[in-house]
Amino acid sequence: MMDKKGISPLVATLLLVAFALVVGAITMTWSKSYVEKTQEQSKKVAIDTFKAAIIIGIDQLDDPLKEIQINYITGKISREEYLQKEKDLLDIESSSGGHCTTDAECIKGFTCWYKIPSGIFVGVKGDQKNPGKCYSNSLVSKVKN
């Protein structure tokens, strides 16, 4: 009555093992290429992040020129504002006189600064310990803002 024949259990087992190996090989090949692609993308992101990093030494934190540059790089001010503020700052540097320890040593319209005030930085007045330079009051007020 039931004269139907099927495949032997040995052949069925071999077919299942072969199928599992093929599926495993395909999965391994796909995952290897996926992982390599992901690693390349993360390396690129890390390199781009490093390129965008701004590295400033502690001794440069109170430097008005660095502050202006950071504001430009981070998009807080436009290129035109950056160039104008940089020009004003350089005008101050070029207009400064010799070393001073008090405002009285500067000519009228100038004050003695060891570190000129800029933006959020208060500035440091010149004194005996930290002799400064005489800077034009009008130019210093431009850099403060």
Give the pLDDT band (50/70/90) at residue 19: very high
Contact (CB, 8 A) for 70 and 82: no
Looking at residue 11, its pLDDT comes to 87
Give the pLDDT band (50/70/90) at residue 103: confident
Domain boundaries along the sequence of the chain: 9-53, 60-144
Strand bridging mode 124-125 / 99-100: unpaired
92 pLDDT exceeds 70? Answer: no
Residues 136, 110: Cα–Cα separation, whole Å: 4
Contact (CB, 8 A) for 99 and 131: yes
25 pLDDT exceeds 80? Answer: yes
Among the residue ranges 22-26, 90-94, 108-112, the one predicted with the least confidence is 90-94
Q: How many CB atoms lie within 10 A of CB 15?
A: 11
Q: What is the pTM of this model?
A: 0.37
SS (HEC) of the chain: CCCCCCCCHHHHHHHHHHHHHHHHHHHHHHHHHHHHHHHHHHHHHHHHHHHHCCCCCHHHCCCHHHHHHHHHHCCCCCHHHHHHHHHHHHHHHHHCCCEECCHHHCCCCEEEEEECCECCECCEECCCCCCEEEEEHHHHHHHHC
Looking at residue 132, its pLDDT comes to 82
78 pLDDT exceeds 70? Answer: yes
Residues 123, 134: Cα–Cα separation, whole Å: 13
